[in-house]
Structure 1
Amino acid sequence: MTEDRAPAVTAQQLLTMMSAVRKTGVLRAGVDLKVFDALADGPADAETVATACTADPRGTRILLNALAAIGLLEADQDLYTLAPGAERILVSTHPEYYGDAVRLAASDYEWDAIKHLGDAVRQGGTVMNTNAETPSYTFWEDFAELGTLNTQPVADLVADELLPWSDASDDRVKVLDVACGHGFYGYTLARKDPRAHIWSLDWPNVLAVTEANAQRLGVSHQAHFIPGDMFEAPLEGPYDIVIVANVLHHFSTERATQLLRRMADVVRPGGKLVAIAISTGDGRPADDPIPHLFSALMLAWTSEGQVHPLSAYEDMVTAAGFARPKLHTVPHNPLRVLLADRI
């Protein structure tokens, strides 16, 4: 093998890929049944775990052995214990619990889309009647409730970048958060700057969760809500800041630019755009697989969506009426933050 060639594809490699769905199913069952919670206090046998999980003993034993087979548990005779690290990210009472991510990344929503990927490739977009662009799609309620581990570090970065700029204003800082979902980007800024008032725009079913998040975070007195379609809902304004997060990859470059132009119309001159998206890089796909796999999901889940190169997002921003954006990143995080001034 030379340096510029990938290793040869093997049957074992394909078998590992094909069996991934089984590993995902085993993990999801373990999280759904709270198996890891049942083992949080120490070793237990299958019958004890079955009782704690209100499950069948034989079925529980099979699941426990499968969880041990993929390294999430350790098995010793008839006793099972948590594998090192599992007590931190798989026990639901721990602050670093990661099991909620299973409801998103291993959800039926994504599987129902990706299993039709071949048909989406033939058609050039989703073949699903109910998909990520459908009003009242309930996946977005789960997304709003849970967020991801990538969200808060990016929200902190955005707030820290905006605070010195917003400090120059003595008045209320008006922020429009488009397709807000959980609302964490705007609400993180609101928690750090009491002058910030956030107008959250999303489908009505999602905003019910967003509003609950505002109350939980203690910023409900700074929160306002705009129900409806981001391309059609009345936006009012003008705003000092507009946040467009995790949505540009749902559209073609033309449609995404149209959305950004609509945002530019409601941002005051000198105001700020915050665009947050996953982007592909200039290297080989194998060197950075996450955005390319996510792009395949967008193909199966939307009519025209895909993950765009960073240069394409920059061109969208400038074509919409903003200055050339500045790029900000968080280490080990696939999200890219583009900050741009309204010309």
Structure 2
Amino acid sequence: MAAIAQQQPLTPERFFNAVNAYQQTEALKAAIELEIFTAIAEGNTNAATIAKRCSASERGARTLCDFLTIHGFLTKEGSQYDLAPDSALFLNRHSPAYVGGAIEFMLTPRLREGNARLADAVRKGGSALGDDVLEPDNHIWVKFAEAMMPLTRMASEIMAVELRKGGESHKVLDIAASHGMYGIAVAKQNPAAHIHAVDWENVLEVAKRNARAMGFADRHHLIPGSAFEVELGSGYDLALITNFLHHFDAPTCTTFMRRVHAALKPGGRAAILEFVPNPDRVTPPAPAAFSMTMLANTPSGDAYTFAELETIAKHAGFSRVELAPPQVGMGRLVIAYR
């Protein structure tokens, strides 16, 4: 009874915070648009100087910076603000790891609408918006490629280094290549590698542009079309399947992986990068919560556990499947061997 008496009284704070969570989204969006984080990185550390740098009111700057401090994006001592370490790395425009531009995709009206109609998606078991997001040459994937590239720079390098440990690759298939960064990172680690990038034709223009800018145009080849239908070729040492399988149900993934298996040479590897929750499907928080993103925005996609990915790969004919040790951004690398 004494232990019960010492417990904190229950409050509706969790409900209040969840219902108002959209405020954090909008505050972060506003801070990125106003360049609040960049202003502080430049030495503007109080509300008055931040306001002047960002062409904002002092009251507005103070209120926004206090809110960002509450949520851990900033720190505050007296009237002076500073950047939290992750904000300094990812939200300062002067940082090579800046990812603020990703809001141009992550906060698009279609993705917001998918979440606004979540009750319908739960009833249906898939997005209430239909399957138009997976239609050929959908412009949303161009926006994805352009906006999300900075988020993948570090992850692509980690993944490429890990894959190089398994031997040199010469012919590489890059599925749903998007911005092309994963294939380009592999090309950096493998001087003789030629990358064959598959995606919709309009999206591949982004990958082509990035490959040229980074000096890999002569080793970067385009295969426009659907990864489920286009002729992939054969004899690949390595296939990159990055953030792709989660858009589809397990039978569809298995059918697709059979195509990849056929395209690989004996002993070839399929490198699958995905959000991989633990078997309990509620940890770690970010990979586990990705299932909700897929429910809201795809007809049948999901975040797959390692066991589920292993089953998909083995049913497709792969002999061995491993979970690579390093964290790759917020994802994990699963390697399937032909």
Decide: shared fold, TM above 0.5.
Answer: yes
Instruction: Work out the CA distance in 2 between the residues paired with 1:229 and 1:164.
Output: 29
**Alignment pair present for 1:317 and 2:317:** no
Could you list the per-position Cα deviations for residues 257-300 of structure 1 after superposition, in whole angstroms to 9, with x for gaps in the alignment?
01111111221222221122122212362x42223321111011
Range with bigger deviation, 32-41 or 80-89:
80-89
User: What is the 5 A alignment of 1:1-343?
Assistant: 10-39=11-40, 40-43=42-45, 46=48, 52-53=53-54, 57=57, 61-71=59-69, 72=73, 81-85=81-85, 86-129=87-130, 131-145=132-146, 146-147=148-149, 149=151, 152-153=154-155, 155-162=157-164, 164-166=166-168, 173-283=170-280, 285=282, 287-331=283-327, 333-342=329-338
Helix, strand or coil for the counterpart of 2:167? helix
* CA distance 1:247–1:10, shift in 2 (3 Å): farther
Could you list the per-position Cα deviations for residues 36-94 of structure 1 after superposition, in whole angstroms to 9, with x for gaps in the alignment?
33442324655x65664456x4xx732541232231457899x7744454555432112
* CA distance 1:36–1:22, shift in 2 (3 Å): same
Helix, strand or coil for the counterpart of 2:277? coil
Range with bigger deviation, 63-72 or 308-317:
63-72
Instruction: Work out the CA distance in 2 between the residues paired with 1:19 and 1:160.
Output: 41
Aligned residues: 326
* CA distance 1:8–1:281, shift in 2 (3 Å): farther
* Residues 196 and 222, structure 1, Cα contact 8 Å, conserved in 2: yes
C-alpha displacement at 1:128, in angstroms?
Answer: 1.2
Query: Structure 2 counterpart of 1:192, which letter?
Result: Q
Instruction: Work out the CA distance in 1 between the residues paired with 2:62 and 2:244.
Output: 39
TM-score (norm 2): 0.84
Instruction: Work out the CA distance in 2 between the residues paired with 1:9 and 1:138.
Output: 47
C-alpha displacement at 1:103, in angstroms?
Answer: 3.5
Helix, strand or coil for the counterpart of 1:180? coil
C-alpha displacement at 1:144, in angstroms?
Answer: 2.1
* CA distance 1:76–1:193, shift in 2 (3 Å): closer
TM-score (norm 1): 0.83
* Residues 103 and 142, structure 1, Cα contact 8 Å, conserved in 2: yes
Instruction: Work out the CA distance in 1 between the residues paired with 2:134 and 2:279.
Output: 29
Range with bigger deviation, 99-108 or 17-26:
99-108
C-alpha displacement at 1:119, in angstroms?
Answer: 0.7
Query: Structure 1 counterpart of 2:312, which letter?
Result: M
Could you list the per-position Cα deviations for residues 84-117 of structure 1 after superposition, in whole angstroms to 9, with x for gaps in the alignment?
5455543211234342344444444432221111
CA RMSD for the aligned pairs?
A: 3.0
* Residues 26 and 67, structure 1, Cα contact 8 Å, conserved in 2: no
Identity %: 29
Gaps of 5+ in 2: none
Range with bigger deviation, 154-163 or 217-226:
154-163
